[in-house]
Amino acid sequence: MAELFSGAEILLKSLVDEGVDTVFGYPGGSIINVYDELYKYGGKLNHILVRHEQGAIHAAQGYARATGKPGVVIVTSGPGATNVITGVADAMVDSTPVIVITGQVSNAALGTDAFQETDVVGMTGPIDKWTYQIRRPEDVAPAVAKAFHIASTGRPGPVVLDFTKDAQRGRAEYHFEKCDFIRSYVPVPEPDEAQIDEAVRMINAAERPFVVYGQGIVLSHAEEQLKAFLKKGGIPAASTMLGLSALPSDFPYYVGMAGMHGNIASNLMTQRCDLLIAIGMRFSDRVTGIVSEYAPQARKIHIDIDETEIGKIVPVDLGVLGDAAQVLERITERMNFSFHDEWAVTARKYDQVEQAKVVAPEVQRTDGPLTMGEVISKVAEASGHDAIVITDVGQNQLMAARYSRFRSSRSFISSGGLGTMGFGLPAAIGAKTACPDRQVCLFVGDGGFQMTIQELGTILQEHTAVKVILLNNNWLGNVRQWQELFFDRHYSQTRMLNPDYSLIARAYGIRYRMVDERAGLDAAVQEMLDSDEAFILDAHVEEQGMVYPMIPVGRRVDEIMLNRNEWYEDGK
Amino acid sequence: MESEKLYIISVYSENQVGLLSSISNIFTRRNINIESLTVFPSEFPGVHHFTFRVFTTERNATQVVKFIEKKVDVLRAFSFEWQHGGASEHEIISDYLQERKNQLK
């Protein structure tokens, strides 16, 4: 008779056979059998003990975004499960492959309001890619195999496996069989040849073609295909925030980031182009401004792997369903070599305005307090534009997106669609765990830092050498900026009285340095980067710093505020 | 403002616990009230058939169908205006199942 294993052990065997090396988790009563097996598992699986389940899932997201491999989370039932919900929603909207295993009470106790029982299937179904409750030990291996297939193929996303006590404790045979087929699920639609031909015709006919690409380029490993496409077509391109680092910042056809706080060139060129080619992006309202006025002169092509995205926000002339790498390869092969130099070079004109009106006032000050832009530029430069940049949410994020420069893909990790404050610190831990040889720099505000500050304990225990750049201004800066601009300076609940971060760092045994002067910035940044341990650089920046340029909500993307008193006027 | 009409949203899926709730959430999230709902085993073995009757716009009906189809356990979904019953559904599902079977070999 074949050997029998507990469901808990089958789970761990399946994870190892799927190639998992690291899991992020937190034990509890309903998952204790899995932790008991883990105890015996020794070196095969590296378990990172976080300080709160939200930290586990954001760390898994950071791990997944840095590597492309699914991040794995193990938590208990009830509050363990509800504490990961924010991260599940975040991973869904940002297309991040994560596998969440939640403990669950025994089958007989389901639906009885048992201790730490909650309806995980009901709660996660609407916000994840797939949910499955495992009630029998023989279902563990197939469920895990399906979970990996679903999470990592097509448009990636989070999968939740709700693992009851009976399934953990019961015994079954184990055979590892990778899943690559589900009858009801077609992850990568085959591109339609007629659509490809139509796209080629539209691109060949365009005089001012323009590309806006998103994270789909990274997820489809289409970086090289995008470069070849842009070069052959002579087409300028802008990135969404989550697409950042897919192209190197100095790539000749790259004109910057699109959207609310994006570069002037990318937004203006969106409005002027006669053909907009959107690739692996989802027309977020932060990118489009007022939708009815978005790219008004352009015919539009949308290339995406997810059919629900095509025509969801912006009506398009042509949708091309498929994997970005495959579609771009086929289009590039068939299209004409072209030059649009006169058009492409208009980016320079806009860049000059941005440099003079926005960048210089931010990074070339000689007196007054440090600015966020200065600190970020300094870190970018001193790290050779080669660090993995993690951000939290708010001004720290927008400024990090604007002032960082990238050399390689998968180097910008941020909570985009959901905008989850508290994402940064645990995501940085996950990214550093995945890429121990790369410099991992987190930009975080004093607000978001305190939302998951407990994860400093994880850093203490795991010796995760994350570099934390705390852009500390004693405000919830982004909300304060809106209050200043649009709410008559009613600073409602945005002023923060902060703790002494040097004492917090000391309590966790983490190296710390405060910088509040321009003269000390270079040395402080260098000390942080040179450290082979975790480091908190507490940068006391201008209290009422602003992120410009800004397209206020409800405006067209060519209505751009350069500062409090000045709007961009084209031609001047 | 697009006018609201009565639509039938017809869904073929695997028989999966919790699926009904996440499909009905797709309507709830868009503030679409479900007028009636039936769930029954379809003529295809192992495949369940849901039909929803909803008052909504054409655009919403089209979008809802795409989002329902995005659910991993859903085979196909269709929408049509009430009284234009979809006689071709049976054929589409039958072809779909045959095609997927061939792909599996």
Predicted pLDDT of residue B81:
86
Predicted pLDDT of residue A400:
98
Mean pLDDT for all residues in chain A: 97
In this complex, the residue of A125, A150, A312 whose CB is nearest that of residue B18 is A125
Q: How close, in Å, is residue B55 to chain A by CA atoms? A: 20
- pLDDT, average across residues A177-195: 96
Contact A307 B70 (CB under 8 A): yes
In this complex, is the C-beta atom of B73 within 8 Å of any C-beta atom belonging to chain A? yes
Give B-chain residues touching A129 at CB under 8 angstroms. 72
DSSP state of A337: P
- pLDDT, average across residues A471-483: 98
What is the band of A569 on the pLDDT scale with cuts at 50, 70, 90? confident
Interface probe, candidates B14, B22, B58, chain A, greatest A C-beta count within 10 A? B22
Q: How close, in Å, is residue A295 to chain B by CA atoms? A: 22
- What are the contacts of A558-563 at 24+ separation with CB within 8 A? A558/A267, A558/A268, A558/A271, A559/A289, A560/A264, A560/A267, A560/A268, A561/A485, A562/A353, A562/A357, A562/A358, A563/A357, A563/A358, A563/A361
Predicted pLDDT of residue B85:
55
Which tens digits make up the pLDDT trace of A88-112?
A: 999 999 999 999 999 999 999 999 9
In this complex, the residue of A122, A181, A308 whose CB is nearest that of residue B66 is A308
Predicted pLDDT of residue A248:
98
> Domains of chain A, with CATH numbers?
5-172 (3.40.50.970), 193-347 (3.40.50.1220), 369-540 (3.40.50.970)
Give A-chain residues touching B17 at CB under 8 angstroms. 121, 133
Which tens digits make up the pLDDT trace of A273-290?
A: 999 999 999 999 999 999
Give the whole-number percent of chain A exceeding pLDDT 70.
100
Spatial neighbors of B99 by CB under 8 A, at least 6 apart, are none
Give A-chain residues touching B21 at CB under 8 angstroms. 121-122, 125-126
Count of domains forming chain B: 1
Give A-chain residues touching B69 at CB under 8 angstroms. 307
Q: Is the preceding omega at residue A426 within 30 degrees of 0, hence cis?
A: no
Spatial neighbors of A119 by CB under 8 A, at least 6 apart, are none
Predicted pLDDT of residue B86:
57
Residues of chain B predicted below pLDDT 70: 1, 83-87
Contact A184 B104 (CB under 8 A): no
Domain housing B44: 5-104
- With CA atoms as reference, the chain B residue closest to A311 would be B63
Give B-chain residues touching A93 at CB under 8 angstroms. none
- With CA atoms as reference, the chain B residue closest to A146 would be B72
Task: Identify the CATH number of the domain in which residue B24 sits.
Answer: 3.30.70.260
Residue type, A13: K
- pLDDT, average across residues A119-130: 96
In this complex, is the C-beta atom of B58 within 8 Å of any C-beta atom belonging to chain A? no
Which tens digits make up the pLDDT trace of A106-117?
A: 999 999 999 999
Which helix (H) or strand (E) element contains residue A46? strand A46-49
In this complex, is the C-beta atom of B24 within 8 Å of any C-beta atom belonging to chain A? no
In this complex, the residue of A121, A129, A182 whose CB is nearest that of residue B18 is A121
- Asked whether residue A462 carries a pLDDT value surpassing 60, the answer given is yes
Predicted pLDDT of residue B87:
60
| pLDDT-wise least confident of A34-48, A306-320, A490-504 | A34-48
